[in-house]
Amino acid sequence: MLEHLPVKPSDSVARELRRMRAELARDPRHLEVALRLAERYFELAGAEGDPRYIGYAQAALKPWWDLPDAPTRARVMRAIVKQYTHDFSGALRDLEAATREDPKNALAWSWRAAIHMVQADYAAARADCEALRGIETELGAVACMAYVDGTTGQAAAAHRALGAAFARDSDVSSAAKVWVLTRLAEMSLRQGDAKQTEEHFR
């Protein structure tokens, strides 16, 4: 059976994926390569909305997928893939183990907060965001807390805090800027400020 992938063989993305797959095929237990490939597939799933990429990410992590004592970074990536398929309990088990093993793992705390937000467990999400203070950038920690506050009736205060942190540290990736501006737009919308909402979205 042949499968038509959502990229053309000549695309730079296809070339990048071929290169990484070939590298992983030579050594399927090369954790660094597997993590890079799984992360790239996860990014593509988000960008393209194609769930097949999540299956490819899981395949890249195959040597560690069912391993109870997987390395921390593998646990975190495994959790990120699991939460995409709504296996929130499995993802949280991995993230809880990861934060026990490495309490300064900002990525693990951030994903814990995100999953708790999806589950409407705002107290747990707030605790996860608190754990980010001192191990994440100021903008990252404020953004996490603002996301919780902005969803739980404190949109005005959350908007001010996130806007101020963003003004102090706007030299971040384009993806981070889009995330922050989208959250600011959502908070403006909750406050009924259509003009400000449109400015953030623009």
**Tens-place pLDDT, residues 12-71:** 889 999 999 999 999 999 999 999 999 999 999 998 999 999 999 999 999 999 999 999
Distance of CA 26 to the CA centre of its chain: 28
Q: What is the pLDDT of residue 101?
A: 97
Q: What is the pLDDT of residue 113?
A: 98
Concatenating the DSSP letter of every residue in 80-122 gives HHHHHTT-HHHHHHHHHHHHHH-TT-HHHHHHHHHHHHHTT-H
Q: What is the pLDDT of residue 5?
A: 56
* DSSP conformation class of 189: H
Q: What is the pLDDT of residue 13?
A: 87
131: number of Cβ within 10 Å: 22
- Six-digit token pair at 76? 């975190």
Task: Round to whole Å and give the CA distance between 15 and 2.
Answer: 19
141: number of Cβ within 10 Å: 21
- Six-digit token pair at 104? 């300064």
Q: What is the model's pTM?
A: 0.89
SS3 per-residue string spanning 115-169:
HHHHCCCHHHHHHHHHHHCCCCCHHHHHHHHHHHHHHCCCHHHHHHHHHHHHHHC
Q: What does each of the 202 residues of the chain score in pLDDT, given as a tens digit?
A: 445 555 565 588 899 999 999 999 999 999 999 999 999 999 999 989 999 999 999 999 999 999 999 999 999 999 999 999 999 999 999 999 999 999 999 999 999 999 999 999 999 999 999 999 999 999 999 999 999 999 999 999 999 999 999 999 878 999 899 999 999 999 999 999 999 999 999 9
Query: N- to C-terminal Cα distance for the chain?
Result: 44
Q: Residue 136: CB partners within 8 Å, gap ≥ 6?
A: 106, 109, 110, 144
